[in-house]
Amino acid sequence: MGALMTTHQPSWGRFFVDDKSPGGLLGATQIRRLAESLGVVPTKKLGQNFVHDANTIRRIVQIAGVGPGDHVLEVGPGLGSLTLGLVESGARVSVIEIDPRLAEALPGTLESRFPGSPVTVMTADALTVREVPGDPNAVVANLPYNTSVPITLHLLEHLPSIATVLVMVQAEVAERLAASPGSKAYGAPSVKARWYGRWSVAGSVPRQVFWPVPNVDSLLVKMERTQPPGDDVLRRVVFELVEHAFATRRKMVRGALANYLGSDRASDLITQAGLRPEARGEQWTLDDFVSLARVVMAS
């Protein structure tokens, strides 16, 4: 699965053992001190904006609804703010961190505040992970803005044990994931995400709780997995149709899908699926794309 797993406590922990905030979670001062001790300067490339407000962390965990008996997967734990909140809830936690320095430091930070808590740290790019030991049933994460949709869809595709998702993402991304057909935000991510479950915006997160302060607003978006409308073969055809349909939003679907379906038969296949060739992609539901995909596969 392309990941290095560890549960050891490295020497980094010595920087932080005696610097505790109430309840064991990290505050603004602790976040900055830990970053400085590790030589970490947050980068836009990795989408590193660290949450430093304990109340926000506990609110996220509460909305996620996780606790004892849950196995939570977190992507991009960074300095450990949300990880500590998840551990505090009593959940079992696995994390995926792409930055080796942060991955190595995290066990020491956790041990200093919640001694003995079992947390599995995977050093990897989340987009390369195809399995997580122990089959997590929930994803809770503060995701990088530029890769939040690909990471979310990748994990849902490869980790069928995931039943719920709560991710903090750029407001525009959250609105796309939760959008309904016909709305301005509705697009390819909306349809693809709906394949896996029902999505809804679950709350806002103020910029001031991040360090450094981002220049965009953030929202929490939540998913509850539902039964998919078909197998993985059907999913791939649906996703290809979605990509082509939204590549040129202003085109009617018969024109947008002409290259994929063939210009001479696009209208006929769309009609066979009980759909209008004059419609636009943003008017179609997931079920509409599924209907067309079944016709395409049978033709």
Instruction: Quick: pLDDT tens for 142-194.
Output: 998 889 999 999 999 999 999 999 999 999 999 999 999 999 999 999 999 99
**Which CATH number goes with the domain that contains 258?**
1.10.8.100
End-to-end Cα spacing for the chain: 36
Cα→Cα distances 268→16, 66, 233, 243, Å: 66, 48, 22, 20
221 and 128 in a common domain:
yes
- Domain limit, last residue, from 225, 253, 286: 225
What is the model's pLDDT at position 23? 52
The answer on pLDDT for 131 being more than 60 is: yes
The count of structural domains within the chain is 2
- Domain limit, last residue, from 209, 225, 241: 225
Cα four-point dihedral sign 238, 241, 131, 150: negative
Using alpha carbons only, give the angle 282, 283, 284 rounded to the nearest 5 degrees: 95
- Is residue 168 within 8 Å of 219, Cβ to Cβ? yes
274 and 134 in a common domain:
no
CB atoms within 10 A of CB 147: 18
192 and 262 in a common domain:
no
Instruction: Quick: pLDDT tens for 28-44.
Output: 999 999 999 988 887 66
266 and 200 in a common domain:
no
168 and 72 in a common domain:
yes
The answer on pLDDT for 137 being more than 90 is: yes
**Which CATH number goes with the domain that contains 38?**
3.40.50.150
184 and 102 in a common domain:
yes
- Is residue 49 within 8 Å of 212, Cβ to Cβ? yes
Tokens in use for 288?
A: 């509409």
Instruction: Quick: pLDDT tens for 190-249.
Output: 999 999 999 999 999 999 999 888 888 999 999 999 999 999 999 999 999 999 999 987
Helix, strand, coil % over all residues of the chain, rounded to 5: 45, 20, 35
pTM to 2 decimals? 0.90
Alpha helices in 76-213 (DSSP H): 81-88, 100-113, 148-158, 171-178, 188-196
262 and 171 in a common domain:
no
What is the model's pLDDT at position 20? 46
271 and 212 in a common domain:
no
Q: Which amino acid is at 171?
A: A
8 and 110 in a common domain:
yes
60 and 172 in a common domain:
yes
pLDDT band, residue 292 (cuts 50/70/90): very high
- Is residue 204 within 8 Å of 220, Cβ to Cβ? yes
246 and 157 in a common domain:
no
- Domain limit, last residue, from 225, 245, 274: 225
257 and 157 in a common domain:
no
Q: What is the domain range of residue 170?
A: 4-225
